[in-house]
Structure 1
């Protein structure tokens, strides 16, 4: 009987230990699952591959890291590139919605609009929307009012026009080319046309529906010395096909003034440019603030207040345009 009692005690003790082990294992498993679930997910939808948009994407991760969110460590990143295809945008936005991403980021207006139209119950942040109010992403700059906020890439157009006139004191005819289906580009182009007309400059607008139209339209624009210079707004389609535009304008000895530094690098003469990586960093910091508890409706739209004067020195030489003395100290040169 004594031996039997001892055996029973041993068995009961073993069972107790196993029960405790099972209990603690379950607790640890629950804690582990909660920790994994607590890692936030940020979904990034980029409209197309282009150096300017790639720089914004890079900046977003830098901005998140500066606020303590490091990709692959304490934050999960989902990324999709629509390659300029509208149907891809809708599919990818739905994918992010199904994934229940904590914050979704749209790089360029088409991507942001697609996300905002699809995701209505979680935060959406736009990066590089030129006209977020007109695009119905926000109600106002100071009080967005919904689940969307972000950072605008509005270019300083008045400064841009003055800069163009400094390079070309006798500027009389300005060609303005943009993609008709790009709302942001269209609005910015029309704003520049209004400013130019007020300055006594004759404006000649040209539109394309896709990059396939750019070769023929650009050649038509510069034929027979119709324009003294060309302005290109923040237009993703043209940005992705700048060599085509520059081939036409260089053949006619006509300078191109875009609004983005990467477009200057690709053959534009000069721009009062928004720093795209800085814009991305500012966007990443907004995303981080949302992850920390802020609501998009209470977060004013961000702006890059001062553009950088970026000049393509090779284009100056190629087109025989003299560098204004006032820009020698402040300009950043590419090529």
Structure 2
């Protein structure tokens, strides 16, 4: 929220905005770790972003920095329509990129079934930003526990209704995260999930 100008600082938002940040940038390193160790030979990775999302550029920079530290290269693919999703996956295959990160975005979330189907068709290992991609057949996800986060956010609504100013309420950060892995998809892709990640996973679909 600071990077895109919604608030001045996390502790003192200022203005008329506060609430809950999903802090997906803080999850980038963990998502990269899990995917990289699952697909160790993938030195060139793709990141799928929606160019209309204001978080696309800062999220891209975060992933590129994390990938560079691991000696990996990131190619950015952009899509904001169903046809562009098809084009992005075709481009990934043509460029022989070894794995894919899907950035968090409402358009992608609404088209989870199409994205998961494209990943299966092109045989692409994908790290998703939300659990429901995995229950739809995606390989893996690492995200905030939104049920817990939304319960906390509800307390802010009550405080604001009682007269507190949003400018004085710190932006809340998630405190619990969840790793989901689909072993059926891993098997279909010929991948072995490292035991340490299976032990850490909150949900394993077999």
TM-score, normalisation: structure 1: 0.57
Distance 1:186 1:265, change over 3 A: farther
Deviation, structure 1 residue 265: 2.1
Aligned partners of 1:334, 1:150: CA distance in 2, in Å?
32
Aligned partners of 1:215, 1:267: CA distance in 2, in Å?
18
- SS in structure 2 at match of 1:135: coil
Of 227, 243, 247 in structure 1, the residue corresponding to residue 113 of structure 2 is 243
Equivalent positions of 1:266-277 (< 5 A) are 266-277=136-147
Q: Counterpart of 1:148?
A: 17
- SS in structure 1 at match of 2:14: coil
- SS in structure 2 at match of 1:150: coil
CA contact (8 A) 2:116 2:133 kept: no
Aligned partners of 2:74, 2:4: CA distance in 1, in Å?
25
- SS in structure 1 at match of 2:20: strand
Q: Counterpart of 2:85?
A: 214
Q: Counterpart of 1:159?
A: 30
CA contact (8 A) 2:45 2:98 kept: yes
* TM superposition outliers: structure 1 runs of 4+ over 6 Å: none
Tell me the C-alpha RMSD between the 2 structures.
1.8
Q: Which runs of no fewer than 5 residues in structure 1 stay unpaired?
A: 1-131
- SS in structure 2 at match of 1:264: helix
Are residue 257 (structure 1) and residue 127 (structure 2) matched? Answer: yes
- SS in structure 1 at match of 2:85: helix
CA contact (8 A) 2:145 2:176 kept: no
TM-score, normalisation: structure 2: 0.89
Q: Counterpart of 2:181?
A: 311
Instruction: Find the structure with the greater CA-based Rg.
Output: 1
Q: How many residues align?
A: 203
Are residue 189 (structure 1) and residue 83 (structure 2) matched? Answer: no
Aligned partners of 2:174, 2:56: CA distance in 1, in Å?
18
Q: Which runs of no fewer than 5 residues in structure 2 stay unpaired?
A: none
Q: Counterpart of 2:192?
A: 322
Deviation, structure 1 residue 256: 0.8
Deviation, structure 1 residue 183: 0.9
Q: Counterpart of 1:283?
A: 153
Note the alpha carbon deviations across 1:212-239, whole angstroms, 9 max, x for none: 3111222221236x11100011111122
CA contact (8 A) 1:211 1:237 kept: no
Point out which structure has higher relative CO (alpha carbons under 8 A, 6+ apart).
2
